[in-house]
Amino acid sequence: MFSAPQKLKFKKFHKLKFNTRRTENRFFCPKFGDYGLQAIGFGKVTAAQLESGRLVIRRFSKKQAFLRISVFPHAAVSKKPTSARMGKGKGKPSGWVCPVKRGRILYEISSIGGKFKNTLPARAFSLVNRKLPLKSKAVRLIY
């Protein structure tokens, strides 16, 4: 599982807002792997969702592929307890999320060897796509 970031200037974040016209302009193609899972839509991905996607890829590839997660959940989401009344400040941080823009690479796979080639990464990414709250597609590194 992902842990909380080590150093933070502020413990609680503002609410995350998304501009639907913006696209990712730095991390839009796989840099460390041959295949990548690219986000088509916008959203917030939690640490648990990233971990469940990682487990799906590891299980599907039978540990024959090198996997890199390109995003890190760095923004805290606060939540007040259900028994608390209105007011009296913001709640405690309850979890960590990663804001994702359109075009961002989430996972990268490079096949070490064996049978994990060609159509298998696309099938693995289609299984991971079911675990995520946003739409995504499999892309291949073009040399």
Inform me whether the pLDDT recorded for 1 exceeds 80: no
Contact between residue 121 and residue 138 where contact means Cβ atoms under 8 Å apart: yes
Please report the pLDDT score of residue 49 as a whole number: 94
Give the residue carrying structure tokens 């597609």.
137
Q: Per the structure block, which two tokens stand in for 125?
A: 């990414």
Q: Where are the beta strands (DSSP E) in the chain?
A: 35-39, 43-46, 65-69, 75-79, 92-100, 105-111, 136-140
Mean pLDDT in residue range 117-141: 85
DSSP SS3 for 120: helix
Structure confidence by residue, pLDDT tens digits, 69-78: 989 888 888 8
Give the residue carrying structure tokens 């709250």.
133
DSSP state, 95?
Answer: E
Q: pTM, whole model, 2 decimals? A: 0.82
Mean pLDDT in residue range 112-137: 81
Contact between residue 100 and residue 118 where contact means Cβ atoms under 8 Å apart: no
The Cα–Cα gap between 122 and 127 comes to 9
Inform me whether the pLDDT recorded for 51 exceeds 90: yes
Give how far Cα 119 sits from Cα of 74, 87, 133, Å. 33, 53, 24
